[in-house]
Structure 1
Amino acid sequence: MPAPPVSRTAGHRMASWRGGLRRQALYIIVWLTLLTGLILVGLGQWRKGLLVMGTSMVLAGVVRALLPGRLTGWLAVRNRTSDLVFCLLFGAALITTAIVARGEM
């Protein structure tokens, strides 16, 4: 008795899903880093949390600047210039706030 044929659509969907996940890997890394920073803030380590979140945003900006559009995935929200300016300025603002703000560490 021959084996039932494997559905090409199921294999194609799985390969498509894995390829999509690879393209979004940098986006997922940025969000996980931001989430880590938020958890630190929630645990009372606000200075470390802001540094982590700011570094994550600067990383997102650098990645958006260096990678071609087809590899940036969901990091590409607007045009490259506005994404870059937003990520770098917001990241720098978070890092500056963490360094300059008074309070307990």
Structure 2
Amino acid sequence: MKSQIPLLLVLAVATFGLIRIVQYHWREGTVLIGVALVMAGVLRALLPDGRIGLVAIRGRGMDVLLYGGLGLAVMAVSLTITGGPLHQ
């Protein structure tokens, strides 16, 4: 169970992001989902394989690159969208 704590932390942040989206705060929610992905990348980079649990999917370098890159992309897109029906 100890090895699943990083996954539970990432899922908690992502769940809170989804809750914010459902509450019509889509920008905050998508930024939180991006933060969860970046957090997964940081945890993957810092923790050894025996303590990272299901956050480890591929090799360490690939996980860090993909989690971090996707997280930053999600945050960048959500912060740069202006106007339209989703405008806050």
Q: What TM-score, normalized by structure 2, do the two folds share? A: 0.90
Runs of 5+ in structure 2 lacking a partner? none
**Residue 58 (1) aligns with residue 38 (2):** yes
Query: What is the Cα deviation at residue 22 of structure 1?
Result: 1.5
1:1-105 equivalent positions in 2, closer than 5 A: 21-103=1-83, 104-105=87-88
Q: Distance in 1 between matches of 2:22 and 2:82?
A: 18
Q: Distance in 1 between matches of 2:48 and 2:69?
A: 21
Runs of 5+ in structure 1 lacking a partner? 1-20
Query: What is the Cα deviation at residue 59 of structure 1?
Result: 0.6
Larger RCO, structures 1/2 (Cα 8 Å, 6+ apart): 2
- Residue identity over aligned pairs, in percent, reads 31
Q: What TM-score, normalized by structure 1, do the two folds share? A: 0.76
Provide the aligned C-alpha RMSD in A.
Answer: 1.0
